[in-house]
Amino acid sequence: MTRRVSFLIFPDFQILDLAGPLAAFEIAGRFVPGAYTLATLAEAAGPVAASSRLAVTAGPLDEGACDTLVVIGGNGTRAAMAAPALLAFVARAAAQARRTTSVCSGSFILAAAGLLEGRQATTHWRRAADLARRFPRITVIPDRIFIRDGNIWTSAGITAGIDLALALIADDLGPAVAARVAKEMVVPWRRPGGQSQFSSLAELPIASDRIGAALAFAREHLGEDLPVERLAAAAHLSPRQFARAFRTETGTTPAKAIEQLRGEAARAAIETGRVPIDRIAAAAGFGDPERMRRAFLRTLGQPPQALRRAALAG
């Protein structure tokens, strides 16, 4: 069975958003001949310049139905979101495709085409709050490498497109083939953790001094109980006002943000020292090691003990 994978690009797209997943599918096709045919499409067929000014030749949008549509991201997504013909194509192709996916800020194009309403989705961590603001009916989860919600898959920033492609290949051809492709590309087959490996709430572009003050207060009191009422008091807002403003500015909830801050603090202590796990859990505010273990599995995909073993081995 041959599956057609179509990559949608536009002027000012990010070249690695395209090249990474494209290479993964191309290599999978070497290992399983006939598994895939690959096409690159654009609203204006012909050479399309990436943000690096490297041009890629694309075919027209009406180049036939596809099994999997991959919408690429990049600086040009804002203009692409306002292109009626392109959005109409995405909606039409998604209705026919078995899977519709996006890499990085390509999720904004899926959202503008109405495909993410009522779904969970992710994008580059720096754009997550903006996605949540623009499309409030989407549940934006910033700290995920990729998310599958039904037949819609979205992925995080740039190289996460490779993780997405490997997951799609595993879905099609099995994990053994995906692992072989990852080995050929010299990348992890299953990358542990989420985007918190590469970002923290400290780096989010917080617009409000009040939300910034609440986060600063939380960092200084991680070992204590931090209900929303206490954070709201630090921000000089009512709990309801605070929760709404916090979600708008960060793209996440106060509870998830506190868990992330605690996880980052605990992870640093686990990887850089020999303090017992139970003491780290208490100091970070998790209360007990089991609660911390569950949080680590949720956000990092592995328990604290595995991180310590890896750190000691390194």
pLDDT above 90: residue 261:
no
Mean pLDDT across the chain = 88
pLDDT at res. 196: 47
Is residue 228 very low, low, confident or very high in pLDDT (cuts 50, 70, 90)?
very high
pLDDT at res. 194: 54
pLDDT at res. 140: 87
pLDDT above 90: residue 61:
yes
Is residue 164 very low, low, confident or very high in pLDDT (cuts 50, 70, 90)?
very high
What residues act catalytically?
104
pLDDT above 50: residue 58:
yes
Which residue's entry shows tokens 């979600």? 247
pLDDT above 50: residue 199:
no
pLDDT above 80: residue 314:
no
200-313: CATH class: mainly alpha
130-158 average pLDDT score: 89
Q: From residue 69, give the alpha-carbon distance in Å to each of 106, 208, 254.
A: 11, 38, 34
29-37 long-range contacts, CB within 8 A, separation 24+: 31/177, 31/180, 31/181, 32/173, 32/177, 34/1, 34/2, 35/1, 35/2, 35/3, 35/172, 35/173, 36/2, 36/3, 36/4, 36/5, 37/2, 37/3, 37/4, 37/5
Query: What residue type is assigned to position 303 of the chain?
Result: P
Q: What are the pLDDT digits (tens) for 79-93?
A: 999 999 999 999 999
Is residue 65 very low, low, confident or very high in pLDDT (cuts 50, 70, 90)?
confident
Is residue 191 very low, low, confident or very high in pLDDT (cuts 50, 70, 90)?
low
d(CA 10, CA 103): 13
pLDDT above 90: residue 158:
no
End-to-end alpha-carbon separation of the chain, Å? 43
pLDDT at res. 104: 95
Q: Spell out the alpha helix ranges (H) of 10-159.
A: 15-31, 77-81, 84-96, 106-112, 128-134
203-223 average pLDDT score: 76
d(CA 156, CA 254): 21
Q: What are the pLDDT digits (tens) for 289-298?
A: 999 999 888 8
Higher-pLDDT residue of 265 and 56 is 56
Higher-pLDDT residue of 38 and 211 is 38
Sign of the torsion angle spanned by Cα atoms 293, 299, 303, 309: negative
What is the residue extent of each domain of the chain?
3-194, 200-313
Q: What angle do CA 218, 220, 223 make, to 5 degrees?
A: 80
pLDDT at res. 97: 96
Q: What angle do CA 75, 76, 80 make, to 5 degrees?
A: 145
d(CA 72, CA 42): 11
pLDDT at res. 6: 97
3-194: CATH class: alpha beta
CB–CB of 66/36 below 8 Å? no
pLDDT at res. 216: 81
CB–CB of 5/37 below 8 Å? yes
Could you give phi then psi for residue 132, rounded to 5 degrees? Answer: -65, -40
CB–CB of 177/31 below 8 Å? yes
